[in-house]
Amino acid sequence: MSQQFTAKVNKSFYDKIDLVGQTAEDMLKDRLVSMAQDAVTLSPVDTGAYVTSFSYKTNSSSRGRGKSSKGKPRGQNPQAKRQEGLDNLVTDLNAIDLSETKSVTLRNDSPHAEAVEHGEFWPRQGGYFVFTQLRNRYG
């Protein structure tokens, strides 16, 4: 004769599992928003092309925003352009299902992104090292 015991799993258990998953997703999103805020804060603003060329992508082979500064007026309002860049990034994050995503890439596809990062072609200014600083802060 066999002995048997069947444990019933209550709905509240699954609700708690869902809550843990949602909490982890919220923490990830908060970290990505914080990273976005740092990226735009660390960025130089002249025409606004660089700071508004950031994007979050889940597929690194897809092209992001790539605005050129050529022909744009100089001396733009830094606060306004940084807010526009942050708004773009938050919009990108809101379109991503973080629970189904294995990686998220922050990128800047402006034609002069390398020059901004490393200071190439700017004899009076070193690079801003935006991505270097982000790597140091966020790993």
Quote the pLDDT of residue 22: 87
> Which pLDDT tens digit goes with each residue over 2-34?
788 777 888 888 888 888 888 889 999 999 999
| CB contact set of 38 (below 8 Å; sequence gap of 6+) | 133, 134, 137
Q: Is the pLDDT of residue 131 over 80?
A: yes
Quote the pLDDT of residue 59: 76
The rounded Cα 100 to chain-centroid distance in angstroms is 17
